[in-house]
Amino acid sequence: MATELDSRQQYLVRDIARGQARFNLLERYVDGDAPLPEGAEGASKAYRRFQKKARMNIASLAVAATRERMIIGGFRTGADGDENGDIQARRLWKANNLDVLSADIHDKMLTYGECYAIVGPPIVPGGMPVVTVEDPRELEAKHHESDPRLITEAAKVFRDDDSGMDFAYFYYPTRIEVYVKPAEGSLFSLDNWVYREDLSSDNPLGEVPVVKFENLNEKGEFEPYLDLIDRINHMILQRLVIVTTQAFKQRAIKGDLPQFDMDGNEVDYDGIFQPGPGALWMLPEGADIWESQQTDIQGIISGVRADIQDFAALTRTPMHYLSPDGANQSAEGAALAREGLVFKAEDRMARVTASWSKVMSLLFRWMGDEERANLLDLEPIWKPAERYSLAERGDANSKFQDIPFRSRMSLIGQFSPAEIAEMEAERAGEAILTQAMLGGQVAQP
């Protein structure tokens, strides 16, 4: 086995390196560390002091608004009796803490436009296979020419500070190869990589255990509107500079003031005109005091608010996410904004449905359960993107009594498959108890 990266492996590493600048920039916007807004040259001191205070982190709100509505409640598989979701799928989901990690995957996908998950074998004998969330800055995958859903090879490159080594994992349908090099210089350098047979292994699945999650156009939710975010931050900076530099009114004396007193000493006007609540200034005849006026910043405030409204419309994010004033909008306007967000969330759920089915299929394949691993029968059960209030659910439930209980609890009650299964068991128990009581008998446990 060669101890250097071949041309195909080098190509994958270069692909990862090429995306660093873009992904790092998007992360800065989400973390509230967007590029500092520029200020006027004449106000350089004020702008350097307030640049960081002028940044408004609305990118993360656009991501969170969609992510919070993308929740998986269970999975259906090809196994019998899984109308409320497959129990084995639920066990695998819980074992990997995917209630939390799925939100992390959606967050990265909505931020960077793409994200990956790797499904690995159990760490300990008899354990559950493991799902890991992968940053697109560390992983790149290549797809089959005729089937873009099929990953033919993938590479993960990362630096381990504890061991002082760089690692490169290359995933193939039948093999996982590992290369290492000292953590010196660039992580993406193509030199000094050494193949490690002891870390490499066979891949018994016959397919690459890497799953890609893609957002619309492989872009972050806010990525097309970075210029708008910069404009909002720039106008906030201007407001801060104006307010700070004009916090105290400036005063000037108009007219001729004697330069020397009667004894010929130079007059110290800085000492004479000291401000204070009990100060009294005596001015010579013909002199007058001029006082500056504060600039009206209401136009700037209104402009920023208008820009935020534009951002909300473009990203279909309800205004109450971005501004407290948004909670006071009309009921019709709030409903329309929420409707746009629901449509967007449903679109994103549809885009990652196949990816989540693939993750669950790989988990079952590692478990040796080929029946449940069949992709044609696998389907995530999403919780509704539109959330109804208790009053709305109760009212609708009373009006649709002809709908079967399970469908009513799912579509109207918006309960998860596990909750519906528990309710059905409780209903069956209550029915038995009621029947026994009506018959004068004591129900047996």
- pLDDT score recorded for residue 424: 81
- pLDDT score recorded for residue 441: 53
Cα 334 to Cα 314: distance, rounded to the nearest angstrom = 15
- pLDDT score recorded for residue 334: 60
- pLDDT score recorded for residue 427: 84
- pLDDT score recorded for residue 206: 94
- pLDDT score recorded for residue 440: 55
C-beta neighbour count of 175 within 10 angstroms: 11
All residue ranges of the chain with pLDDT < 70 are 1-3, 39-47, 80-84, 247, 325-337, 439-445
- Asked if the structure places residue 49 within a domain, the reply is no
- Asked if the structure places residue 341 within a domain, the reply is no
- pLDDT score recorded for residue 417: 75
- What pLDDT digit, counting tens, does each position of 381-399 carry? 998 888 777 787 787 878 8
- Asked if the structure places residue 355 within a domain, the reply is no
State the pairing for strand pair 139-143/288-291. unpaired
- pLDDT score recorded for residue 161: 93
- What pLDDT digit, counting tens, does each position of 69-127 carry? 999 988 989 886 666 678 899 999 999 999 999 999 999 999 999 999 999 999 988 89
- What pLDDT digit, counting tens, does each position of 129-175 carry? 999 999 999 999 999 988 888 999 999 999 999 999 999 999 999 99
Which residues, at least 6 apart from 310, have a Cβ–Cβ distance to it below 8 Å?
228
Of 333, 384, 113, whose CA–CA distance to 224 is shortest?
Answer: 113
Which residues, at least 6 apart from 306, have a Cβ–Cβ distance to it below 8 Å?
none
Which residues, at least 6 apart from 101, have a Cβ–Cβ distance to it below 8 Å?
131, 133
How many domains are there within the chain? 1
pTM to 2 decimals? 0.82
- Asked if the structure places residue 394 within a domain, the reply is yes
Cα 162 to Cα 47: distance, rounded to the nearest angstrom = 40
- Asked if the structure places residue 434 within a domain, the reply is yes
- pLDDT score recorded for residue 86: 86
- Asked if the structure places residue 432 within a domain, the reply is yes
> What is the secondary structure of 336-398 as a DSSP string?
HHHHHHHHHHHHHHHHHHHHHHHHHHHHHHHTT-TTTT-TTT-EEEEPPSSPPPHHHHHHHHH
- Asked if the structure places residue 233 within a domain, the reply is no
- pLDDT score recorded for residue 1: 47
What is the extent of the structural domain holding 397? 388-445
